[in-house]
Amino acid sequence: MAEATVTRIESGAHKVSRRVVVNAPAAEIFSLIANPHRHPEIDGSGTVRDTPVKGPDALSLGARFSVGMKQYGVPYKITSTVTDFQDGRVVEWQHPMGHRWRWELNETSPTATEVTETFDYSTIKVPKIIEILGYDKKNGEGIEGTLRALAARFA
């Protein structure tokens, strides 16, 4: 089976976006993305640990959840807050440092959905620091891996 094609999307300054078409209805995809307990199933960055997640099974506006993470061999926990939520279409959460992760779903047919994931660091005090540290590129690669894993899950 061929690997899904992930496309770079121009989404503005200090944002990294990628898109993939997933062979599934938006509702099925959204139920996976909007459940933080299931994020390790599709993580393509290698940073989300498969440890107990604290928070609701289904996100909603203002909901908070904590996920175990690991970078450079160092484990840590991050608590995020949902900042935008449109059931079946959009879910976005903000990390304590101010950057946001956004998922947008656009069902193009009953069996296909365009899924766009965005790392938005325009909301932090000094966005240039993300670029100096290379996290814009690193997170772009992680998004690509995540979207490929998502598409493969429904292939």
Q: pLDDT tens for residues 70-83?
A: 877 888 788 999 99
Tell me, yes or no, whether 2 lies in a domain. Answer: no
Tell me, yes or no, whether 17 lies in a domain. Answer: yes
Q: How many domains does the chain have?
A: 1
Tell me, yes or no, whether 44 lies in a domain. Answer: yes
Residues of the chain with pLDDT under 70: 1-2, 49-50
pLDDT of residue 51: 73
pLDDT of residue 149: 93
CATH number for the domain that contains residue 64 = 3.30.530.20
Tell me, yes or no, whether 109 lies in a domain. Answer: yes
Q: Are 116 and 104 in contact (CB under 8 A)?
A: yes
Q: What is the domain range of residue 55? A: 7-153
Which DSSP string corresponds to 51-102? S--BS-SS--TT-EEEEEEEETTEEEEEEEEEEEEETTTEEEEE-TTS-EEE
Q: At what angle do helices 135-153 and 26-33 cross, to 10 degrees?
A: 130
Tell me, yes or no, whether 1 lies in a domain. Answer: no
